[in-house]
Structure 1
């Protein structure tokens, strides 16, 4: 039988802490949320690998280091409402829910959204609501959000998401640039976003977040 508890501790000690993720709530959440429950059965053995996991149906789970760095950079507070875009089977939302007021998790794939809702309920994540819908459209009915987490890479940020971020709020994503990627945190001030580099990272570009490339002769 696999000792997932030991693997979880090893993940934090060898992937998260060495990446200078030091905020106690993040460490505590990643030590306690059972990552193996949020992947398909055939991926459970590799749930704690230092790699992007392909969940199928066009969705991936960020590698633990990248996810931890994003959380550390965006600095979610206990009284904040978070929009989690591309939640897959719900792992990211489960972790974020441990140290935020509430999480609205969006998953575009109908099957995955239903699975995420079921797993989160079974794992006792009572402050997470899962909605099925297009990631790039966000969840306007529940806005404004203090923090928006994008669980994948983007080439552009849709204006709809910026409008759903509260003034003074933060947004974090992996920006894809010619096959390379960087994590950036955006800060909204008086309706405008300013972005800061956090670290290098890789993630597949999410549906709805590709740039439209004009045809030229």
Structure 2
């Protein structure tokens, strides 16, 4: 396989047509090697437009979904970011290039270990991976400028939203199959949140989140 041609095709045929037009994001996808974060058994599919299985219950988000979420978060150099569901660390590595610091949590101990090793090999020094479920966030590190749920949930817990700074934003994929939507929730004041629906997609569930609604928009 011609890796660089496959990467080019992923960007130009999958990601750019999905309204990912931010040159910062497109350029970053050429630098952060997605294949280095994919399990050996699936490396040949690293650039394919599918979710890749990581464990019996966890999947790596499709490339275009990762890229679109990253674009919509609009991270800046001073931002502190919370990522729920680090998986093998690919999105963690991408966000680390735009943010000041990334705190990532991963419930699966094996995946968390892989993420730490992958980030170390990639030279990422401003990201930390904690082994824990993510529904309760990381209150000790709050408040955050941005929170990303790297997988789907039935609803966004109120406690996570409370860990946003005023002006902070949370990106998540919400709903149940076959209908899920990526949403951006912005904290506009201490007690007020604004929700914008971004796009329809389907993604694997994040562990540790209630299936019953915990927060209604």
Taking structure 2 as the reference length, what is the TM-score of the superposition?
0.92
Please tell me whether the aligned partners of residues 149 and 172 of structure 1 are also in contact (alpha carbons under 8 angstroms): yes
**Structure 2 CA distance for aligned equivalents of residues 3 and 104 of structure 1:** 34
Question: Match of 2:30?
Answer: 31
Residues 150 and 173 in structure 1, CA contact (< 8 A), matched pair in contact too: yes
Pair 1:165 & 2:164 matched: yes
Q: 2:88 maps to which residue?
A: 89
Q: Please, which runs of 5 or more residues in structure 1 have no aligned partner?
A: none
Aligned pairs for 1:1-217 (under 5 A) are: 2-190=1-189, 191-212=191-212
TM-score w.r.t. the length of structure 1 is 0.92
**SS of match in other structure, 1:76:** coil
Alpha-carbon displacement from aligned partner over 1:157-204 (angstroms, at most 9, x marks no partner): 112211111111000011124521111100112232221011111102
Moved more, 67-76 or 118-127: 67-76
Equivalent pair of 2:182/2:201 in contact (CA under 8 Å): yes
CA RMSD of aligned residues (A): 1.4
Q: Distance in 2 between matches of 1:58 and 1:31?
A: 29
- Residues paired across the two proteins, number: 212
Distance, in Å, in 1 between the alignment partners of 2:83 and 2:15 is 20
| 1:209 Cα offset (Å) | 2.5
Distance 1:7 1:98 in 2: 22
Measure the CA separation in 1 of the matches of 2:70 and 2:50: 17
Q: Are the structure 2 counterparts of residues 211 and 32 from structure 1 closer, same or farther at C-alpha, using a change threshold of 3 Å?
A: same
- State the distance in 1 between where 2:179 and 2:90 align: 25
Report SS of the residue matched to 1:195.
Answer: strand
Aligned residues of 1:85 and 1:106 also touching (Cα < 8 A): yes
Structure 1 CA distance for aligned equivalents of residues 8 and 115 of structure 2: 24
| Matches of 2:188 and 2:43, distance apart in 1 | 42
